Amino acid sequence: MTQVPCYTIINSPDLEVPNEMQLKQDLEKGDTNVKIETLKKVIKLLLNGERYPGLIMTIIRFVLPVQNHTIKKLLLIFWEIVPKTSADGKLLQEMILVCDAYRKDLQHPNEFLRGSTLRFLCKLKEPELLEPLMPAIRACLDHRHSYVRRNAVLAIFTIYKNFDWLVPDGPELIANFLDTQQDMSCKRNAFLMLLHADQERALNYLASCIDQVQSFGDILQLVIVELIYKVCHANPSERSRFIRCIYNLLNSSSNAVRYESAGTLITLSLAPTAIKAAAGCYIELIVKESDNNVKLIVLDRLIAMKENENMEKVMQDLVMDVLRVLAAPDIEVRRKTLALAMDLVYSRNINEMVQVLQKEVAKTHNVEHEDTGKYRQLLVRTLHTCSIKFPDVASNVIPVLVEFLSDTNELAAVDVLIFIREAIQKFPALRGLIIKHLIEAFPQIKSSKIHRAAVWILGEYVEGELMLEVIEAIQQTLGEIPMVDAEQRRLAGDQTEEQLQQQQQQQSGTAASGEATISSSNKVTSDGTYATQSAYSLAPVTKKEKRPPLRQYLMDGDFFIGAALSATLTKLALRYAKLEPDPRAQNRVTTQVMLIMSSILHLGKSGFPSKPITYDDSDRIMICLRTLSERTPEAVAVFMHDCRDALGKMLDAQSEEDQRMLKEKQRATAKVQPDSPVLFAQLSNGRDNQLGENVFESSLNQALAGTKTAQLSDMSSPNSKLNKVTQLTGFSDPVYAEAYVNVNQYDIVLDVLIVNQTNDTLQNCTLELATLGDLKLVERPHPVVLAPHDFCNIKANVKVSSTENGIIFGNIVYDTALNTNVVVLNTIHIDIMDYIIPASCTDTEFRQMWQDFEWENKVTVNTSFTDLHEYLKHLLKSTNMKCLTPEKALSGQCGFMAANMYAKSIFGENALANLSIEKPVDDPDSKVTGHIRIRAKSQGMALSLGDKISSSQKQSVQAA
Q: Are 763 and 812 in contact (CB under 8 A)?
A: no
User: What DSSP element (H or E) covers 774?
Assistant: none
Helix (H) or strand (E) holding 220: helix 218-234
From the centroid of its chain, how far is CA 213?
A: 38
pLDDT of residue 540: 38
The overall pTM is greater than 0.75? no
Beta carbons within 10 angstroms of residue 309's beta carbon: 8
Question: Can you name the residues that pair with 838 across neighbouring β-strands?
Answer: 903
- pLDDT per residue as tens digits for the range 25-62: 888 887 888 888 888 888 888 877 677 778 888 888 88
9 has pLDDT over 60: no
Continuous H helices in 808-938: 843-852, 868-879, 887-890
d(CA 951, CA 573): 58
Element (H, E) at 812: strand 806-815
β-sheet with 735-744: strand ranges across = 725-727, 735-744, 747-756, 791-800, 775-777
pLDDT at 717: 45
Helix (H) or strand (E) holding 744: strand 735-744
Closest by CA to 945, choosing from 921, 923, 912, 916, is 912
Yes or no: domain 722-830 corresponds to CATH 1.10.260.40: no
Structural contact between residues 868 and 919, judged by C-beta atoms closer than 8 angstroms: yes
Q: Taken in order 689, 690, 693, 694, is the CA torsion positive or negative? A: negative
Cα separation, 234 vs 227, whole angstroms: 11
**Cα 737 to Cα 752: distance, rounded to the nearest angstrom:** 7
834-956 placed in CATH 3.30.310.10: yes
Whether residue 800 has pLDDT greater than 50: yes
Residue 766 CA to residue 150 CA, distance in Å, equals 42
Q: Distance (Å, rounded) from C-alpha 24 to C-alpha 126?
A: 27
Compute the distance between CA of residue 384 and CA of residue 154 in angstroms, rounded to an integer. Answer: 58
Contact 265, 305 (CB under 8 A): no
What is the Rg, in whole angstroms, of the alpha carbon atoms belonging to the chain?
39
The three-state secondary structure class of 848 is helix
- At residue 226, what is the residue type? E
Residue 513 above 50 pLDDT? no
Greater model confidence, 404 or 632: 632
User: Is the model's pLDDT at 435 over the cut of 70?
Assistant: yes
For residue 156, with 0-12 CB atoms within 10 Å meaning exposed, 13-18 middle and 19 or more buried, which class applies?
A: buried
Q: How far apart are CA 626 and CA 632, in angstroms?
A: 9
Residue 701, pLDDT > 80, answer no
> What's residue 755's pLDDT?
92
* Identity at 842, one-letter amino acid code: T
> Could you read off the pLDDT of 149-171 as tens digits, one per residue?
989 999 998 998 888 888 888 88
pLDDT of residue 695: 59
Helices 255-268, 272-288: inter-axial angle, 10-degree rounding: 160
CB 474 within 8 A of CB 592: no
pLDDT digits (tens, 9 = 90+) for 834-861: 778 888 888 878 888 898 888 889 989 8
Q: Report the percentage of the chain scoring pLDDT > 90.
A: 2
CA angle 646, 651, 655 (to 5 degrees): 145
Mean pLDDT of 282-289: 88
Give how far Cα 896 sits from Cα of 890, 919, 921, Å: 10, 6, 9
Higher pLDDT, 10 or 822: 822
pLDDT for residue 608: 82
Separation CA 186–CA 765 (nearest Å) = 47
In this predicted structure, what is the pLDDT of residue 710?
A: 42
The pLDDT-based confidence of 914 (bands split at 50, 70, 90) is very high
5 pLDDT band, cuts 50/70/90, is low
The 3-state DSSP class for residue 394 equals: helix
482: preceding bond cis by omega (within 30 degrees): yes
In angstroms, rounded to a whole number, what is the distance separating the alpha carbons of residues 266 and 315? Answer: 12
Q: What is the mean pLDDT of residues 635-661?
A: 80
Task: Report the run of H or E that residue 832 belongs to, with start and end.
Answer: none
CB atoms within 10 A of CB 374: 16
d(C-alpha 955, C-alpha 960), whole Å: 9
Burial of 525 (0-12, 13-18, 19+ CB in 10 A): exposed
**Residue 819 CB coordination number (10 Å):** 6
**Average pLDDT over the chain, rounded to whole?**
79
pLDDT of 906 over the 80 cut: no
Asked whether 752 and 796 are in contact (CB, 8 A), the reply is: yes
Ordered DSSP codes for 433-495: HHHHHHHHHGGG---HHHHHHHHHHHHHH--TTHHHHHHHHHHHHH-SSSHHHHHHHHHHTPP
Distance CA 940, CA 946 (A): 10
For residue 83, give the H/E element and its range.
none
